Amino acid sequence: MKKVQDYYFKKAKQENYPARSIYKLEEAQKKHQFIKAGDRILDLGCHPGSWSLYAAQIAGSKGAVVGVDLQKSSVAPAAGSARIEFICADIFANDVKTQLADKFPFQVVVSDLAPKTTGHKFSDHLKSVELSRQALTIATQLLCRGGHFYCKVFQGEDFPAFVNEVRQLFKKTKIVKPKSSRVESREVFVLGLEFKGNTLNEKV
């Protein structure tokens, strides 16, 4: 197991990403191709910025990435990548909702949001689901019709209900467990493809 961790850690260093979590997005993107050139991507829980950097590369110079996190990120996109704007904020804060509303619409919302884990599986799971639900709420407000949602969540009692909520809103839903995610970790990723849209974004 340690060997796998070392492998992704070293790979991220070699490829100039600040965190090995990059591969949890890259694997899903390679398989499902949900980020496209020219897309506007919202990255929730973006610090230190690996997912934003990767999404910016795929989106290219005509795209845009907005990253939100409690912690400040300062990585710069590679040449030819989309511009990245980092917002240092709590995703539950009202002012972040207002700031993001100005940037509507997005083609993709990704969330790697994670609570500070306590080691108590049930409460860590509940906090993770709370973050994932907030990410889903933001996604339903800011995604364009046909847009995509990729979101980390720690499995547990409320996981099936969360997947069901995603299922109601997207035409296709997949559960992704990337190879780069530790086997013993309870994290999985829920991928919602083709947002059905709702009354909040009828104008798109």
Closest approach, Cβ 169 to ligand SAM, in A, equals 21
Span near ligand SAM by CB under 6 A; candidates 17-25, 55-63, 135-143, 156-164 = 17-25
For 88, residues 6+ apart whose C-beta sits below 8 A from its C-beta are 69, 70, 71, 72, 73
Q: What is the CA radius of gyration of the chain?
A: 16
Helices 22-32 and 2-14 meet at what angle, rounded to 10? 80
Which residue number, 83 or 145, has a Cβ lying nearer to ligand SAM? Answer: 83
Of 182, 87, 175, 170, which is closest to residue 136 (Cα–Cα)? 170
Element (H, E) at 27: helix 22-32
Which residue number, 85 or 196, has a Cβ lying nearer to ligand SAM? Answer: 85
Pick the binder of ligand SAM from 5, 16, 33, 71 (CB under 6 A).
Answer: 71
Chain-centre distance for alpha carbon 113 = 7
Size of the site for ligand SAM (CB under 6 A): 22
Of residues 41-70, which lie at the interface with ligand SAM (CB under 6 A)? 45-51, 68-70
At 188, list the tokens: 């999985």
Closest approach, Cβ 204 to ligand SAM, in A, equals 25
Of residues 131-170, which lie at the interface with ligand SAM (CB under 6 A)? 131
Cα separation, 23 vs 3, whole angstroms:
16
| Residue 21 binding ligand SAM, by CB under 6 A | yes
Which sequence positions are flagged as catalytic? 152
Residues at the site binding ligand SAM, with contacts judged by CB under 6 A = 18-19, 21-22, 45-51, 68-71, 90-92, 112-114, 131
